[in-house]
Structure 1
Amino acid sequence: MERWLDMLRCQYNWMLADRFDWWEMNRTPVNVCPLVCSIAEPREQPDYYNQKRSLVSLKDERPWYKEIHSQVLQDMVKRAGKAFDRFVKGDKNGKRSGKPRFKGKNRYRTFTYPQAKPDWIDGNRIKLPKIGAVKFIQHRSLPDGFALKTVSITLKADGWYVTFSLEDKSVPSQLVETIVPTVANSIGVDAGLEYFMACSDGTMKPPPKFYRQAEDKLAKLQSKRDERGLGSKSRRKLNERIAKLHQRIARQRKQWHFETAQELLDKAEVIFVEEIKVSNMSRRNKPKQGEDGVFLPNGQSAKSGLNKSFADAGIAGFLNEILPFKAAKAGKMVVKINPAGTSQHCAICLNRVPKKLSDRWHDCPHCGASMPRDVNSGVLIKKVGLGHRLTIKRESGATRRRSPRCTAKRSA
């Protein structure tokens, strides 16, 4: 199986490079090319079908590729096509991905049988075509009424895993009934770093910081690994220990996310969360350059620690994947709202109360409300989700923000 992965990786890189070569030479029409540009020889655009036909000649030129099952090879071609099309065309929503990278050693870890059959599974063994019967641990039996579609074999840090893809057309893909949000059946959740979640009912839960807890152990293993020679057996074993530790941290975080999502779903039927983009919040600071051309400190050293905390908390995965998945499975709803103003207004009187990021307590000078900043945001998120509008009509003219253009017009 390791040999299969290595051969599939090499052919994946070749097919991706073939697509890149055609795209670089043919993405501009001939009548708008610069005169100094060399015109490429016209050839057919690489796609799934002509690259799949090339597998016949590949097996003639390199007979060792005959060891791999034909459908596994075809699935590799489909993977290369999807990676390239998402970069050039985008997905169904028009969102484009980054430029796909060539797979290095140990970066291609999965191969798939796209047309699996139920008779492959015989007790605690699975019969993989061209590999044979492989013993596996079946943590739960396959449910009745589902059709077995694909079988994927994945190499992870602690061994090989088999994943079954099932289909039952009678199961609805989405909820038919919609839940009407009310004050009684809904809750607002503010996600952050000081408290992973602060709910509108006043409950707060700090992040567990699994990576921070294992950071010292990781540092020791990495320092020990760097002392070993490149390509040595001891260095490879230390790399395996580091990979297993990273895998353990990821699994701890994921398990904690699922438990936290279940706690929220036990409280309400509708959960309001902010529609935030964590990738923008964890972006690197822009460089600062002085008049003499020398780069000045831009605060990136402190920002790096904040970015590590964002990655350790896993807010994006929780809000975008785990919580909606658990809610759909339980027949409940997750509604995302616009986060504008949810940290700068009072949850009781809705007046604007400006706060810096370092201000972690909310004290309203208008109504006297006093509570943690994150809880105030959680209550505001729920109110905005239920249709309340955050207004600044009650704000005095002295504290209201005005643009320089308006100030210039007023002074003129």
Structure 2
Amino acid sequence: MLTMTYEYKLEPTAEQIESIEQTLDICRSVWNFALRQRKDWCASRKSPINACSIQSEYIISADEPFPNYHKQAKQLTQAKKLYPHLKTVHSQVLQQTLRTLDRAWDDMKARGFGLPRFKNKYRMRSFVFPQLGKDPIRDDGIKFPKLGWVKWRQSRPIPFGFQVKQARIVRKASGYFVMLSLQLNVNVSSPMPHGHPRGLDLGFDKFVATSDAEEIKRPRFEITLQRKLKLLQRRLKNKQKGSNNRHKLNQKIARLHQRISDTRKDWHFKLAHHLCDGAGMIFVEDINFVSWQRGMLSKQSADAGFGQFVNILEWVCFRRDVYFAKVNKDGTSQTCPNCGAHTGKKTLDIRFHHCDECGYRTTRDVAASQVLRNRGLNAVGQTVVENVCGLEATGSIGHDTLVGTGRSRKPNSRELGIPSLKVTEHSEVARGRGGCQELMVPID
């Protein structure tokens, strides 16, 4: 089963916007009531039997079961008889709100996430239609239950054979969007290891360094607009809560944040396609990027969006038939990619790799990416035929076979105080492209 999500811009009328906002408000009230019910049930059972809570707690009978999704969905049906305004929203939309809360509650216990939060009118931004009617798609609009036909910008056609399974209406700072979940009943196998391998090392100094000795700087998406963002947020504290001026200023701040987010996502997609050019296998380090946002560089990590980039890269590799895998990250900066020797621990101020065993020199990030590439090749057990200077070299891919000696990316001999001479190496596979390259070879 192949599943994709396409996003389109909606152009609703004033009546449809009012209906969407009313739906969001009712979904918010259902979410808050269900969450309050769950928290009250837990609070009534946290005190010891022989002692009372210091704070007043809502007393619930001891034999009262936990208010899970099935119980709350049954209570929702009964509540519609007492509160008729709940009937103005499609029944499945409210059920999906309870399902989302139930999933968030389970993730809190199973995955260590935080407690679900109560929603104000700004935090509830989307709702889901799990089913659409018959033939809901036209070139100029899409049909939703109880909303009717809504105009949209069909920026790209829906692929042939895919069925629309569900639709999520999202309110953003720039307008309303619909996220269509598309499914095709076909078994698609994952790409197999083949072609040119490429290791990627992510970091703060360089956003990504490849095993082909390419280093890409980390763009500052938020920092470039930080002055404007700080100025708007400073004005916000002088606005009265609930006023129209405060609401307008919040919309300006939200549009600026969306501009930063859209720019980051667009750059991630372009970089992912660039890295897939000429590659058959891509190996990245297996890192928990959530932990990166808890240290002193949390702002820089959130601005770079490493986790989003890895997810986008995995999707682009699947679309372009490139094998993608995560490998162990431990000790990548302490291992020589040329001979495999242990070079010792490096502090963060050391940005160059120098192996005392084989004399191999390159930048630290490129060496780490080459180690990741070697580990990935060992994991898949890949054996290919490489053509080096017109000679067939059959066997396991080594570092020198793939990128030559790689010394064109190391600090030059003048920086290291080593006399050198210029030679030209002819290699068709150096750095993944043909031609000649000049190397600085130290004289012993």
Task: Say whether the 8 Å CA contact 1:19–1:84 is kept in structure 2.
Answer: no
> For residue 243 of structure 1, what is the aligned residue in structure 2?
254
Query: Taking structure 1 as reference, are residues 210 and 48 closer, same or farther at Cα in structure 2, changes over 3 Å only?
Result: same
> For residue 208 of structure 1, what is the aligned residue in structure 2?
219
2:99 equivalent to 1:78: yes
Query: Which of residues 345, 349, 368 is equivalent to 1:377?
Result: 368
Instruction: Give the deviation of 1:118 after TM superposition.
Output: 4.2
Query: Taking structure 1 as reference, are residues 228 and 13 closer, same or farther at Cα in structure 2, changes over 3 Å only?
Result: closer
Task: Say whether the 8 Å CA contact 2:196–2:280 is kept in structure 1.
Answer: yes
2:30 equivalent to 1:11: yes
Partner-residue secondary structure (3-state), 1:245 = helix
> For residue 65 of structure 1, what is the aligned residue in structure 2?
86
Task: Say whether the 8 Å CA contact 1:258–1:323 is kept in structure 2.
Answer: yes
Task: Say whether the 8 Å CA contact 1:151–1:162 is kept in structure 2.
Answer: yes
> For residue 285 of structure 2, what is the aligned residue in structure 1?
274
Alignment of 1:81-96 (within 5 A): 81-88=102-109, 90=110, 95-96=111-112
Query: Taking structure 1 as reference, are residues 122 and 335 closer, same or farther at Cα in structure 2, changes over 3 Å only?
Result: closer
Instruction: Give the deviation of 1:322 after TM superposition.
Output: 0.8
> For residue 15 of structure 2, what is the aligned residue in structure 1?
none
In 2: Cα distance, 1:208 partner to 1:380 partner: 25
Query: Which of residues 146, 153, 158 is equivalent to 2:162?
Result: 146
Alignment of 1:190-209 (within 5 A): 190-209=201-220
Query: Which of residues 333, 341, 344 is equivalent to 1:343?
Result: 333
> For residue 21 of structure 2, what is the aligned residue in structure 1?
2
In 1: Cα distance, 2:267 partner to 2:187 partner: 28
In 1: Cα distance, 2:77 partner to 2:49 partner: 38
2:104 equivalent to 1:104: no
Task: Say whether the 8 Å CA contact 2:133–2:145 is kept in structure 1.
Answer: no
In 1: Cα distance, 2:336 partner to 2:205 partner: 20
Task: Say whether the 8 Å CA contact 1:16–1:84 is kept in structure 2.
Answer: no
Instruction: Give the deviation of 1:96 after TM superposition.
Output: 4.1
Query: Taking structure 1 as reference, are residues 347 and 142 closer, same or farther at Cα in structure 2, changes over 3 Å only?
Result: closer
2:264 equivalent to 1:253: yes
1:255-282 Cα offsets, whole Å, 9 max, x none, are 1111111111113111111111122233
In 2: Cα distance, 1:225 partner to 1:36 partner: 45
Partner-residue secondary structure (3-state), 2:332 = coil
> For residue 392 of structure 1, what is the aligned residue in structure 2?
none
- For these two proteins, the number of residue pairs brought into alignment is 353
Alignment of 1:228-377 (within 5 A): 228-284=239-295, 303=296, 306-319=297-310, 321-353=311-343, 354-377=345-368
In 2: Cα distance, 1:18 partner to 1:265 partner: 49
2:71 equivalent to 1:50: yes
Partner-residue secondary structure (3-state), 2:315 = helix
In 2: Cα distance, 1:386 partner to 1:166 partner: 34
The amino acid of 2:51's aligned partner reads: V
> For residue 393 of structure 2, what is the aligned residue in structure 1?
none
Instruction: Give the deviation of 1:170 after TM superposition.
Output: 1.9
Instruction: Give the deviation of 1:42 after TM superposition.
Output: 1.1
Partner-residue secondary structure (3-state), 1:116 = coil
Query: Taking structure 1 as reference, are residues 78 and 39 closer, same or farther at Cα in structure 2, changes over 3 Å only?
Result: closer
In 1: Cα distance, 2:159 partner to 2:170 partner: 22
1:162-216 Cα offsets, whole Å, 9 max, x none, are 12222211253x42x6325xxx621111111111111111111101111111111
In 2: Cα distance, 1:156 partner to 1:239 partner: 12
The amino acid of 2:30's aligned partner reads: Q
1:296-327 Cα offsets, whole Å, 9 max, x none, are xxxxxxx2xx22111111112212x1111111
In 1: Cα distance, 2:40 partner to 2:239 partner: 39
Task: Say whether the 8 Å CA contact 1:26–1:40 is kept in structure 2.
Answer: no
Instruction: Give the deviation of 1:39 after TM superposition.
Output: 8.3
In 1: Cα distance, 2:355 partner to 2:302 partner: 33
Partner-residue secondary structure (3-state), 2:200 = strand
In 2: Cα distance, 1:225 partner to 1:376 partner: 47
In 2: Cα distance, 1:43 partner to 1:34 partner: 16
Instruction: Give the deviation of 1:34 after TM superposition.
Output: 4.3
Query: Taking structure 1 as reference, are residues 42 and 142 closer, same or farther at Cα in structure 2, changes over 3 Å only?
Result: same
The amino acid of 1:19's aligned partner reads: R
> For residue 120 of structure 1, what is the aligned residue in structure 2?
136
Q: Which protein has the bigger strand share?
A: 2
Unmatched runs of 5 consecutive residues or more in structure 1: 285-302, 389-412
Query: Taking structure 1 as reference, are residues 61 and 253 closer, same or farther at Cα in structure 2, changes over 3 Å only?
Result: same
> For residue 390 of structure 2, what is the aligned residue in structure 1?
none
2:198 equivalent to 1:187: yes
For structure 1, which segment, 1-10 or 221-230, has the greater mean C-alpha deviation from structure 2 after superposition?
A: 221-230
In 2: Cα distance, 1:167 partner to 1:349 partner: 47
For structure 1, which segment, 45-54 or 238-247, has the greater mean C-alpha deviation from structure 2 after superposition?
A: 45-54
> For residue 168 of structure 1, what is the aligned residue in structure 2?
184
In 2: Cα distance, 1:97 partner to 1:35 partner: 32
Unmatched runs of 5 consecutive residues or more in structure 2: 1-19, 53-58, 380-444
Partner-residue secondary structure (3-state), 2:135 = helix
In 2: Cα distance, 1:236 partner to 1:355 partner: 50
The amino acid of 2:316's aligned partner reads: K
Partner-residue secondary structure (3-state), 1:235 = helix
2:189 equivalent to 1:178: no
Task: Say whether the 8 Å CA contact 1:118–1:148 is kept in structure 2.
Answer: no
Identity of aligned residues (%): 37
In 2: Cα distance, 1:257 partner to 1:111 partner: 27
Partner-residue secondary structure (3-state), 1:375 = helix
Query: Taking structure 1 as reference, are residues 259 and 11 closer, same or farther at Cα in structure 2, changes over 3 Å only?
Result: same
1:107-145 Cα offsets, whole Å, 9 max, x none, are 111111111124233431223222233222121222332
Query: Taking structure 1 as reference, are residues 16 and 228 closer, same or farther at Cα in structure 2, changes over 3 Å only?
Result: closer
Task: Say whether the 8 Å CA contact 1:207–1:313 is kept in structure 2.
Answer: yes
